[in-house]
Amino acid sequence: MRAVIQRVKNSWVLIDNREVARIGYGLTILLGVLKGDSAEDVERLARKIVHLRIFPNEMGKFGRSLLDVKGEALVVSQFTLAAETRRGHRPDFTAAMQPPQARTLYNSFVERLAQFVPVQTGHFGALMEVGIINDGPVTIILDSRE
């Protein structure tokens, strides 16, 4: 699984010009599910994200986690994170898990994350507009296999 996480002041998802999700202070998580991902990847990535110390402490340094700041999470499916771009100019998405299996792992990730923090989501596979007010900006790329 690959995730791009952004520390946000707030974030939201629109589908067909209708807001379907909104969070305040926390993380927007763009999540890509790759072939070969499993329940272990879900667990590893969810735990890593909620414990990652990327929020400022009293000295302004990265010292607090999403749990520490009692933040929220917005999770958005993002199959394009599986893109391979080494050859040519058109991304190759063959590393992305097929949608039915990817949806299952995406939902498992959301459920696991919700055991730690409040979670909102976009709609898996939908064409979405994602609004993000970055805080910092702080953007981190994670891979459950690394």
> Where in the sequence numbering do the catalytic residues fall?
78-80
Written as one letter, the residue type at 121 is: T
Burial 110-141 (b: 16+ CB within 10 A, else e): bebbeebbebbbbebeeebebebeebeeeeee
What 3-state DSSP class applies to 79? helix
Can the peptide bond before residue 137 be classed as cis, meaning omega within 30 degrees of 0? yes
What single-letter DSSP state applies at residue 10? E
